[in-house]
Amino acid sequence: PGTLVLPGALYIDGMPFVRHDGLIGFWVYCLLTGVRTLVGALRKSELCKCGCRGWDSVFQILLTIAWSFEAAARGEHPRNRHDGSPWENDVGRSSIAGTELGFRVALVLVKCDLAEMCPSFGFPSVTSKVHPCPNCWEAGEGLRNLRTLSSLGNGRQKTLEDLMLACERCET
């Protein structure tokens, strides 16, 4: 009560910048003002090539953005670096660590198009024959069948347990 809470959003999109390469841009913005700030960019040709399809690179930026939003949700300047280590030689940041911002930020929207959602967040592609929908187990053909659409849902929904089992099966 009595604290200003601003609605925040994260926007991710790809941007071409040369003929055969592009960037993944990460913006944070306030939903009240619409002012966007670019907080990160990754060159697609320089993403991790270990077989993760670039997820290892994207994940590091998402961790840093999550760290920023967590501090903003508490309404204070971060007490430590994004990796948990102390500020050490950064006198400016260490002097304000833990002090009040005067407002809080609630992340209420993560926005991207479908072309960026699949590689950046690890969701299945719409061309997947098994289950292209990130929310349910409907096969590709079922998603195009309008008879299966319902306001109550579309097939069996994916759960956290489903995700954990899939991750366990892929672990080596």
Question: Model confidence over 88-104: pLDDT tens digits?
Answer: 888 899 999 999 999 99
User: Is the pTM for the entire model greater than 0.85?
Assistant: no
- State the Cα–Cα distance between residues 32 and 160, nearest whole angstrom: 32
Distance in angstroms (rounded) separating the CA atoms of residues 54 and 23? 12
pLDDT for residue 116: 76
Can you give the pLDDT at residue 113?
Answer: 77
What phi and psi, each to the nearest 5 degrees, are found at residue 9? -140, 155
Taking a C-beta distance cutoff of 8 angstroms, is the pair 57, 47 a contact? Answer: yes
Helix (H) / strand (E) element for 105: namely strand 104-112
- Beta carbons within 8 Å of 130's beta carbon, 6+ residues apart: 124, 139, 140
Which residue type does 101 have? L
Distance CA 65, CA 103 (A): 18
Report the pLDDT value the prediction gives residue 101, as an integer from 0 to 100: 92
Long-range contacts, stretch 117-120, CB < 8 angstroms, 24+ apart: 119/53, 119/54, 119/55, 119/58, 120/12, 120/24, 120/58
CA angle 155, 160, 166 (to 5 degrees): 90
The pLDDT score that the predictor gives to residue 40 is 93
* DSSP secondary structure letter of residue 158: P
Q: What is the DSSP letter of 85?
A: -
Say what the pLDDT of residue 41 is: 93
- Which ranges of the chain have pLDDT less than 70? 130, 134, 139-156
pLDDT at residue 155, rounded to an integer: 61
Which residue is listed with tokens 């030689």? 89
Give the model's pLDDT for residue 55. Answer: 81
Task: Dig out the tokens for 156 from the structure.
Answer: 């069996």
Q: What is the pLDDT of residue 121?
A: 73
Q: Give residue 73's pLDDT.
A: 94
